[in-house]
Structure 1
Amino acid sequence: MADLGFKTTAPVASGKPADFTAVFYREYALLARNRVNLILGLTPMLVYLLLVNTSLGNVVGNITYRGETLPFAVFLLPMVLAMSVVSASGTTGMAMFQEEMSGVSTQLWSWPLRRSRFLAGKLLAGVSLVLAQSLLALAVAAIIFDYPFHASHWIWLLLALVLSSVAFNGLYLAAAVLISDYRTFMVLTSVSVPVLVFAAPSLSTSQQLPTVLRWISTVNPVSYAVTGMRDAAIFGLGKAWPSLVVLAVVAIVANFVAGRALLRRTRNL
Structure 2
Amino acid sequence: MAAKLTFTSAPPAARARGADLPAVLYREYALLARNRAYLILGLTPMLVYLLLVNTSLSNLVQVVDYRGLEVRFSVFLLPMTLAMSVVSAAGTSGTAVFQEELSGVATQLWSYPLRRSRFLLGKLIAGVSLVLGQSLLGLGVAAFIFDFPFAPEGWIGLLTTLALAALAFNGLYLAVAMTITDFQAFMVLSNVSIPVLVFSAPSLYTVDSMPLVLQWVSAVNPLTYAINGMRDAALFGFADAWPEMLVLAVMAIISYGVGGRALLNRARNM
Q: Could you state the TM-score of these two structures normalised by the residue count of structure 2?
A: 0.94
Instruction: Say yes or no: does 1:226 pair with 2:199.
Output: no
Conserved in 1, the CA contact under 8 Å of 2:42 and 2:85? yes
Conserved in 2, the CA contact under 8 Å of 1:49 and 1:80? yes
What corresponds to 2:45 in structure 1? Answer: 44
Deviation at 1:5, TM superposition (A): 5.7
Conserved in 1, the CA contact under 8 Å of 2:116 and 2:263? no
What corresponds to 2:14 in structure 1? Answer: 14
Percent identical: 65
Deviation at 1:6, TM superposition (A): 8.1
Query: Tell me, which stretches of 5 or more residues in structure 1 are unaligned?
Result: none
Q: Distance in 1 between matches of 2:143 and 2:225?
A: 22
Q: Could you state the TM-score of these two structures normalised by the residue count of structure 1?
A: 0.94
Instruction: Say yes or no: does 1:81 pair with 2:82.
Output: yes
Conserved in 2, the CA contact under 8 Å of 1:44 and 1:84? yes
Q: Distance in 1 between matches of 2:255 and 2:114?
A: 24
Q: Distance in 2 between matches of 1:126 and 1:17?
A: 21
Deviation at 1:250, TM superposition (A): 0.6
Q: Distance in 1 between matches of 2:240 and 2:42?
A: 30
> 1:162 is aligned with what amino acid?
A
What SS does the corresponding residue of 1:64 show, helix, strand or coil?
Answer: strand
1:1-269 matches, cutoff 5 A? 4=1, 14=14, 16-269=17-270
Conserved in 1, the CA contact under 8 Å of 2:89 and 2:130? yes
Query: Tell me, which stretches of 5 or more residues in structure 2 are unaligned?
Result: 6-10
Query: Cα RMSD (Å) of the superposition?
Result: 1.6
Q: Distance in 1 between matches of 2:136 and 2:268?
A: 35
What SS does the corresponding residue of 1:14 show, helix, strand or coil?
Answer: helix
> 1:259 is aligned with what amino acid?
G
Deviation at 1:32, TM superposition (A): 3.1
Segments of 4+ moved more than 4 angstroms = 5-8
For structure 1, which segment, 209-218 or 107-116, has the greater mean C-alpha deviation from structure 2 after superposition?
107-116
Conserved in 1, the CA contact under 8 Å of 2:85 and 2:135? yes
> 2:14 is aligned with what amino acid?
S
